[in-house]
Amino acid sequence: MKSVLITGGARGIGLAAARAFAAAGYRTAITYCSSGRQAEDLKKDCNAEIYRCDFCDPNALEALIRALRADFPAGFDVLVHNAGISLRKQLQDVTREEWNDMLNVHLTAPFFLSAEFAPDMIRRGQGRIIHISSVWGKLGASCEVPYSAVKAGLIGMTKAMAKELAPSGVLVNCVCPGAVDTDMNADLTEEEKRAFSDEVPLGRFAAPEEIVRTVLFLAGEDAAYITGQAISVDGGLA
């Protein structure tokens, strides 16, 4: 049985991904931070293995890696780096703590989880690493400078990892969603959502499942010649 680790797997895109991979027959592990009830539901409904981890805390990341190593000594066939936090502020109002949190969640955790489990993939001669970036990593967003910066960093990490790991049969790609109907956008007013939808050529927000179809495709055999790509799933926004 193939195995997958999905960070931020209790809500939104991560939850949809966990359900999709479990339905496809993967032994599924997720991390979560504050969504304990949703994680427990997923454990019950999909037999997922759940791990609480606050990626803002570097010590928590190290503890997570130890726990995953104990339960998955051979590592994973697929890594889906989905955990994320949002921040909407003018750049001069961003604190150092907020900046560091963005780096830890969006870049440090994916980097060190990949560094830990990529060697297992290399030994097997196959594996998939999939980063969930954002359309803002390509376009940039006003009042979301830290978020745009780290999502752009994920794209760069994807391309560099892909070149390094391709000779070993490990494929690394990035999915860049646009407007998605998740909790991360729950603080938007209905007026703001309508205005955002009007900017999207398809005229609407995506459902999380629509993003996950691309993630599942990249994990499958039909994507065996795709690596180093940042694939937009954004309704034509970018």
Q: What angle do CA 30, 32, 37 make, to 5 degrees?
A: 105
Question: Taking a C-beta distance cutoff of 8 angstroms, is the pair 121, 114 a contact?
Answer: no
Question: Taking a C-beta distance cutoff of 8 angstroms, is the pair 190, 134 a contact?
Answer: no
> What is the CA 35 to chain-centroid distance, rounded?
16
Question: Taking a C-beta distance cutoff of 8 angstroms, is the pair 138, 232 a contact?
Answer: yes
Nearest Cα neighbor of 11 from 38, 31, 37, 29 is: 38
Is 147 one of the catalytic residues? yes
Q: Which one of 26, 32, 51, 147 is the catalytic residue? A: 147
> What is the CA 226 to chain-centroid distance, rounded?
18
Nearest Cα neighbor of 89 from 151, 134, 145 is: 145
How far is 98 from 91, CA to CA, in rounded Å?
11
Question: Taking a C-beta distance cutoff of 8 angstroms, is the pair 135, 191 a contact?
Answer: no
| Residues noted as catalytic | 147
